[in-house]
Amino acid sequence: MLRIILAVLLFLAAPAGAQESVVAGLSQHRVAITANFDGTAILIFGAVKRDSKPPKGQQPLQVVIAVSGPAKPVLVRRKERVFGIWINRSSVKVNAAPSFYAIASTVPLRQALSSAEDHRYKISIGNMVGQATPSGKISDVPAFSKAIIRIRQNNGLYSDSAGHVNLIDDTLFDTQIKLPANLVEGDYKARIFLTRERKVIDSFDTTIAVRKVGMERWIYNLAHRQPLLYGLLSLAIAIGAGWLAATIFRLLRIS
């Protein structure tokens, strides 16, 4: 009920002007990573604003929602067995790959979006991962990009959930995007697309700030801004922990 009320309020507050446009909101725009952070879920909801009633016989409206984390270049190496030893033989640099990417849609993506529109807006996982640049003569360059996708899907960082967007009367929609515990700090982008006849007719985007807080924030800043002090502190903690463990074992042996 709360989702529907919020979506209706957004619908009433939306500006007029387009035949069909999307207005949306999130349950939270900031995610705090703490010591006991084990993931969270963000509710994305909204409504479709119309100037007039759509004509009869028109194909149904579809909604596609995508949330992406910070994108960085990734060096992918392939290991091969040589004389019984696994070594790195070839490598490919992928120009940009999001640290996290989740898609949710009312129907399978290929039913909601044409290949041309997908390529234009870079919505599918394959189109979000950037082009690969080989370091030598490699015939199967696309396999390295697919390897990134496969590994990150196995780690729960990439997902494609068809049918997970609830759409009521072609007007109100909502879904939940699960964020795993192993999130990378940064600004995450949430994009919402309205499609009809496999074409994008409107879109909306907003940002989710993912930040470390508390002790994690202090350790992160120390490691990146004062690496020498961080290294000395880590060494001191390791020595202290070793000394304490040795002392405890010695006392137990005496008793």
pLDDT digits (tens, 9 = 90+) for 64-107: 999 999 999 988 877 777 777 776 677 788 888 999 999 999 99
pLDDT of residue 217: 61
Residues 77, 223: contact at Cβ < 8 Å?
A: no
Q: How many CB atoms lie within 10 A of CB 109?
A: 18
Lowest mean pLDDT among 25-29, 123-127, 146-150, 229-233: 229-233
What residues pair up with 199 in beta bridges, in sequence order? Answer: 196
Please tell me whether residue 234 adopts helix, strand or coil conformation. helix
- Give the mean model confidence (pLDDT) for residues 1-20: 54
* Percentage of the residues of the chain whose pLDDT score is greater than 70: 84
Higher pLDDT, 193 or 78: 193
Q: Name the average pLDDT for the chain.
A: 83
pLDDT digits (tens, 9 = 90+) for 141-179: 788 888 899 999 999 999 999 999 999 988 999 999 999
Report how far residue 171's alpha carbon sits from residue 154's, in angstroms, rounded to the nearest whole number.
34
Confidence category of residue 15, pLDDT binned at 50, 70, 90:
very low
pLDDT at residue 41 tops 90: yes
Note the pTM of the prediction, 2 decimals.
0.76
**Domain ranges, ordered by start, for the chain:** 2-212, 220-254
* 2-212, CATH topology level: Immunoglobulin-like (2.60.40)
Residues 71, 152: contact at Cβ < 8 Å?
A: no
Residue 68 vs residues 41, 84, 188, 214: alpha-carbon distances, Å: 14, 40, 6, 25
Q: How many CB atoms lie within 10 A of CB 39?
A: 12
Q: Give the DSSP H or E segment for 12.
A: helix 2-13
pLDDT of residue 175: 96
Residues 58, 239: contact at Cβ < 8 Å?
A: no
Q: Give the DSSP H or E segment for 154.
A: helix 142-154
Report how far residue 94's alpha carbon sits from residue 73's, in angstroms, rounded to the nearest whole number.
6
pLDDT digits (tens, 9 = 90+) for 200-216: 999 999 999 998 876 66
Report how far residue 26's alpha carbon sits from residue 190's, in angstroms, rounded to the nearest whole number.
9
Confidence category of residue 225, pLDDT binned at 50, 70, 90:
confident
Report how far residue 49's alpha carbon sits from residue 10's, in angstroms, rounded to the nearest whole number.
9
pLDDT of residue 14: 47
Confidence category of residue 16, pLDDT binned at 50, 70, 90:
very low
